[in-house]
Amino acid sequence: MNADQWLADTRTSYDTVAVSYADQLRESLIKAPYLRAALALFADLVRASGGGPVADVGCGPGHVTDHLQGLGVEAFGIDLSPGMIDVARRAHPRLRFEVGSMTDLDLADASVAGLLAFWSLIHIPDDAVPTVFAHFRRALRPGGPLMLGFHVGSGSRLKTQGYGGHPMNVYVHRRQPDKVAGWLRAAGFRVEAQMLIDPDESVPGAVLFARRQSVLST
């Protein structure tokens, strides 16, 4: 499948489920103490590196963007789905949300102090991940922290419905943390920490913390 097709399918799928997705995820962080702790650590890292704007890339309905703002971070959201951005703007009118793609990230070079991709990388196929990470590195200022959250596993599955039974047509990619860490290093990041969330569940989660290096390794 070419990039135009899977991006279009992902956009349409999340436009379709935007309202029900927001309803189901609105209070999800309340029951996720380890993810809240990871986000608090990320906010601390942003402040320690000098502070400034933080991009929540693949922000969905904006609940994590709002949580970061509550932690004292100057957060704004970007999402591929106009429907998700509409929901985010209505729910969080004081925050900034923009339609955009992490595969062609419309952010100026070294313009953000931190970058978060919170379970949004899961729809990016393997061959597009290096491009995405190159955009992340370009947009981050030197030394800026990056936090990634994703499903742990191997292989991909086609999701045909979800969030209230609405039709979807998106692939969900599960990956091992070491594989993602290798991509990050190749893109010019230093991997600093990783967490495994719910290791006894059928689909654990992982959180990786990395930092943009000033010079690409050769």
Q: Give residue 217's pLDDT.
A: 58
Tell me 141's DSSP state: P
User: Rounded to two decimals, what is the model's pTM?
Assistant: 0.94
In order along its 218 residues, the chain shows pLDDT tens digits of 677 899 999 999 999 999 998 998 888 999 999 999 999 999 999 999 999 999 999 999 999 999 999 999 999 999 999 999 999 999 999 999 999 999 999 999 999 999 999 999 999 999 999 999 999 999 999 999 999 999 999 999 998 887 878 888 999 999 999 999 999 999 999 999 999 999 999 999 999 999 999 877 55
Q: Give residue 4's pLDDT.
A: 84
Superfamily per CATH, domain 3-212: Vaccinia Virus protein VP39 (3.40.50.150)
Decide if 203 contacts 190 (C-beta within 8 A). no
Q: What is the dihedral of CA 19, 24, 26, 32, to 10 degrees?
A: -150
Q: What angle do CA 131, 137, 140 make, to 5 degrees?
A: 140
Give the helix/strand (H/E) hosting 15. helix 3-25
